[in-house]
Every structure is written in C-alpha cells, then in structure tokens.
Copies of this chain bind each other. A is one copy, B any other.
Amino acid sequence: MTGVVARDYAVRAVVRAARLLELLRASEGGAPLNELAASSGLAKASVFRMLRTLEGLGFVERPDGSDTYRLGVRCLELGQAYLEQTDLRREALPVLERLRDRFDETVHLGVLDDEYRVVYLEKLDSTQAVGIMMSRVGKTAPSHCTGLGKALLAARDGDPVGALVERGALRRYTPNTIHRPAELRRELTRITRRGYALDLEEHEPGVRCVACAIDGPSGSAVAALSIAGPAQRVAEESLRGELAAAAREAAREIGLRLGAARREVAS
C-alpha cells in the first residue's frame, strides 16, 4: 500500500479533502485559506470549495466567522464512534486491566495507521507516577522508537523500514533512538525472534517499556500492547523477564478472545 489505494480506484476529490484535513491536523490551531492552498499545492479556488464543503459537513469549522479553518466536531464524533465500534478495544480491556493491576505500571494498546505511526487506542495509568508519559488515547507516536511501534513493524510484511525511510520518519528523539535503517532492520528481526520489543528510553527519556504484537484471527498482527514505566523503577532484566512474559501471555489471550468474538458474530 505505498500508493493510496490498491488499484487506480481513488476518487480524487476525496483524497484531496483528506489531504486538507491532514494539513489542518498538523497545523497548530488552524490555518487560513491561502496557507492551505500553498501547502496542498492545489488551486486556491479548489481549496476554497473543498473547505466550504467540509465546513458544511462539520469536518471543518471557522471560529465565529473568521478566516482560519480548523478541524470540526464531526471529526470528534467519528473518532469516538471508531473507539466504540472496534471490538479489539472491547476484548482487550479486561486483559489490560489485569495487567495494569498486577504490576501497577502503565499499559497501552495501539495500532499502526497507514502512515506507519503508532496510534494509541487505550491507556491505563499506573497509580504511581501518573503523567510522565505523553501518550494519550487517539494520539500518534513514531513507530521506530516505541515498543508498540517496533512490535508492530516487526510483524508487518513488506518493507516497513523502507517506507519509514521514504517518509523521512527516522528522526532521533533521544540518544538511544535507533535511527539508522540497517540497525532498525536488525532490531526488528531480533524482535520477531524473541517475541517482544523493548523501548529503552528511545522515545521519551526516562521511559522504558516492553511490547508484544497481538495476532488477529487471520494470524497477522492487528495491534500491540505494552507495559511501560519510569526507567529508575523498571530494570532491564525485569522488562526482559517477568514483564515480557506477562505481556506475551496477555497478547496471546487477547488474540484468542478476538478469534472467539469473530466466530460468534459469524454464527
């Protein structure tokens, strides 16, 4: 899926609309017409029509009647509906809760989006040290330097590292960030072999975690979960040992539940 759509199917106007929404998402607190026209590379008139269409649909709004466009409430409604509808989250929740309670560390559930970013679907906070991690449901994070991300990349077929390189996504966030393609590829094979991914302060300084991919009914990974905590509390040995084992077991259980849920629907 390096192209936007499998075949040459692709309704151009819709792709363009999505591009504008993405620009608005990236832009802090909205952008004026001209800016969007410039950065999208489309004609001003086209952008104008698009934005007005999106505004009428609630995907975009202009505070009172000003000239700066920002994302609209409709986006929130859809996002919330997505969360409610995904059975992944529903099935995973009890398992994640047990995991959190057992170690009292922060637990995450996440997937990759089409840009190879990690998107958090669930976050269960540890009772200790709440708020040191900047993760949050719906937020995105880079995949090459997070536990969730690396676990999911390792489970992808094709050449995810290549895709990341193309996008110039291999930024360095901390001294530990693996930012060289070759090294990242080695790391991914290692992850596949041992069945879990580590993040040793590669994204946020002071935060370590262990993550495992969750296999869906079809056998391929549909999500991943992680257990994360402050570096001074979680030793690398415990990450590799007890925590990794617990994470793998939890991932396996969620996978089974997903299969069961699917079969139930089918019947």
Contacts and interface: CB of A to CB of B under 8 A. Distances in A.
B78 A78 contact: yes
A119 interface: yes
A131 interface: no
A4 interface: yes
Contacts of A72: 82
A149 interface: no
Interface stretch (A24-32, A191-199, A246-254): A24-32
A58 B114 contact: yes
A77 B14 contact: no
A63 B75 CA distance: 22
A46 to B, nearest CB: 9
Nearest to A30: B85
11 contacts: A4-B53, A9-B53, A17-B17, A24-B81, A29-B87, A29-B265, A30-B85, A64-B216, A64-B222, A76-B138, A80-B136
